């Protein structure tokens, strides 16, 4: 069983993070599609802090004797999941920046060609 103090800390922390995240979404500081994973994790932490016996069940399913260790393992898993999703977003953005840079280069070349043909006609 997790301690009452840890349960309260998890509850307060998850509620504060949830409110902060909703506020950031409302003010358009974070896009909804990127915040969905955060919202899911906050909801899971909130449920686990309200029902601490679920830690024992999860720890038992994972073969962990101390429920707090299951919390650490789940936290590491959650952070890894967020890191992986951010890596995907960065990779997509890098590819898009590369494509846009190439398009700009082609457009500049076409503009220069049009200027040259216009100057040659005069």
**Full-model pTM:** 0.73
Per-residue pLDDT of 79-116, as tens digits, reads 999 999 999 999 999 999 999 999 999 999 999 999 99
Spatial separation of the C-alpha atoms in residues 27 and 4, rounded to whole Å: 35
Highest mean pLDDT among 43-57, 70-84, 85-99: 85-99
Spatial separation of the C-alpha atoms in residues 94 and 100, rounded to whole Å: 10
Q: What are the domain boundaries of the chain? A: 4-121
Per residue in 19-29, is it b (16+ CB within 10 Å) or e — as a string? eebeeebeeee
**pLDDT value, residue 17:** 92
67 pLDDT more than 90: no
Residue 28 DSSP code = T
Mean pLDDT of 2-12: 89
2 pLDDT more than 90: no
């Amino acid at each position: 069983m997790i301690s009452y103090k840890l349960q309260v800390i998890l509850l307060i922390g998850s509620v504060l993070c949830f409110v902060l995240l909703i506020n950031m979404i409302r003010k358009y500081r974070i896009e909804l599609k990127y915040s969905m994973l955060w919202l899911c994790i906050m909801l899971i932490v909130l449920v686990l802090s309200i029902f601490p016996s679920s830690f024992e069940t999860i720890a038992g399913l994972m073969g962990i004797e101390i429920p707090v260790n299951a919390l650490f393992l789940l936290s590491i898993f959650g952070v890894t999941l967020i890191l992986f999703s951010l890596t995907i977003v960065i990779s997509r953005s890098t590819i898009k920046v590369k494509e846009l840079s190439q398009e700009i280069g082609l457009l500049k070349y076409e503009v220069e060609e049009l200027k040259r043909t216009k100057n040659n006609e005069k």
